[in-house]
Amino acid sequence: MTEENADQADMLKWAKGYAHKHGWTLNTDEKQLMTVIRGLVRNKTKFGRPYCPCRIRSGDEEKDRAIECPCIFHKEEVAKQGHCHCNLYYKEP
């Protein structure tokens, strides 16, 4: 397994665990799911933090803490829309 694949597997495992803890599921569309996972890994590698791949970073570390996955918006989004903005976490399978 390459380091990149290992990082993706770790991120996926972490996201699964987090979803499970909240009684949610991950996106069942494997392609969409892995696009988000890869985006999170990329941001973590590049910026040191798993910033949301679907939101714009301001570049201000303090402000951007809000968009570190899991972002400050996701609970409300899952509750209201059934999924987070990135379509990573889903209320229902």
Stretch that binds ligand SF4, among 20-28, 41-49, 56-64, 85-93 (CB under 6 A): 85-93
Stretch that binds ligand SF4, among 6-14, 19-27, 57-65, 66-74 (CB under 6 A): 66-74
Reported as half-sphere exposure (CB side, CA atoms, 13 A), residue 30 has a value of 0
C-alpha torsion 28→55→67→72, nearest 10 = -70
Strand partners, 83: 90
Q: Answer yes or no whether residue 86 interacts with ligand SF4 by CB under 6 A.
A: yes
Q: How far apart are CA 69 and CA 39, in angstroms?
A: 11
Stretch that binds ligand SF4, among 4-12, 21-29, 57-65, 84-92 (CB under 6 A): 84-92
Q: Answer yes or no whether residue 69 interacts with ligand SF4 by CB under 6 A.
A: yes
- Check: CB of residue 90 under 8 Å from CB of residue 27: yes
Return the amino acid letter for 30.
Answer: E
Contacts with ligand SF4 in 17-46 (CB under 6 A)?
36
Q: Interface residues with ligand SF4 (CB under 6 A)?
A: 36, 52, 54, 67, 69-71, 74, 84-86, 88-89
